[in-house]
Amino acid sequence: MDNRPIGVFDSGLGGLTAVRELRRVLPAEDIVFFGDTGRVPYGSRSPHIIKEYAKQCMDFLEKQNVKMILVACGTVSSVLGEDIGAERKIPCMGVLEPTVKAAVSATKNQSIGLIATAATVASGSYEKLAAKLLPEVNFTGKACPLFVPLVENGYFASGCEVTRLVAKDYLSAFEGKDIDTLILGCTHYPLLYGLIDSITDYKLNLIDSGKEAALGAKELLEERNMLSGTKKIGDMRFFVTDKVEGFAKLGKEFLGEELKNVTRVEIDEL
């Protein structure tokens, strides 16, 4: 039993897709969320910058006395790969493994698509892991760099025409590929779940990387006997590196609960 909070980190709002699922499956857990909103998006940056930012964010969470770190960011998870928890005293996991496992068990025709940030697609991490778990896989990846800024600016409702136009263009990359499963490999993208589902005529298995990451974290804590022993609903604390108001407003819209405890952290102090 371990009553310390779970640390969750992302470049921005996307990590809340993992927090929402954590609240559902592990309601008694306290959560400390770190969103590097002052430097989002990560997905268009080079691997060495992404690694440096990730180190700072994870150091910050470790200082908050968390019991584990869930890297709720497809970009950081893909770029760090197996090095994700290297030299940390607490367990760390990313979205990659649970998400690919879910996709591999969902596909019936071994044809899987991935939408993610440019850095994630360029890393080849999702594709490599999918081919390891399912050697006969046909894998198609498509970078969708406009999705993160659209989501961060609140353009995620399923009726949003601007995002719909952009999404239609990106998703045309899968025409003729006969995929039956599409990985939403950036944790911001599950905020666009309804929109993507309707554009693809509700025909694909959509794999939500935020949700799968949260389920993976639950499994890890269970295996190591590190779940909280309390019965009350867990507290949540949020730290961001840019304005508190915008994050709290959009976060509430998405999580469906008030984000009471949001604090700004200066990037220079990380």
Binding residues for ligand DGL, rule: CB under 6 A, are 10-12, 14, 40-43, 73-75, 117, 120, 148, 186-188
Identify the three-state secondary structure at position 256.
Answer: coil
Q: Which of 57, 92, 144, 186 is catalytic?
A: 186
Which C-beta is closer to ligand DGL: that of 58 or that of 228? 58
Which C-beta is closer to ligand DGL: that of 73 or that of 114? 73
| CB 117 to ligand DGL: min, Å | 4
| CB 178 to ligand DGL: min, Å | 26
Backbone dihedral angles phi then psi of residue 236, each to the nearest 5 degrees: -125, 135
Which C-beta is closer to ligand DGL: that of 39 or that of 218? 39
Identify the three-state secondary structure at position 174.
Answer: helix
Residues 6+ apart with CB under 8 A from 155: 162, 163
Active site residue 144: no
| CB 75 to ligand DGL: min, Å | 3
| CB 213 to ligand DGL: min, Å | 9
Burial 109-130 (b: 16+ CB within 10 A, else e): ebbbbbbbbebbbbbebbbebb
Which C-beta is closer to ligand DGL: that of 5 or that of 94? 94
Q: Which of 57, 73, 92, 144 is catalytic?
A: 73
Quote the CA–CA distance of 4 and 97 in Å, as a whole number.
Answer: 24
Report how far apart, in Å, the C-alpha atoms of 20 and of each of 5, 82, 87, 142, 164 are.
15, 25, 29, 26, 24
Active site residue 160: no
Q: Report the catalytic residues.
A: 73, 186
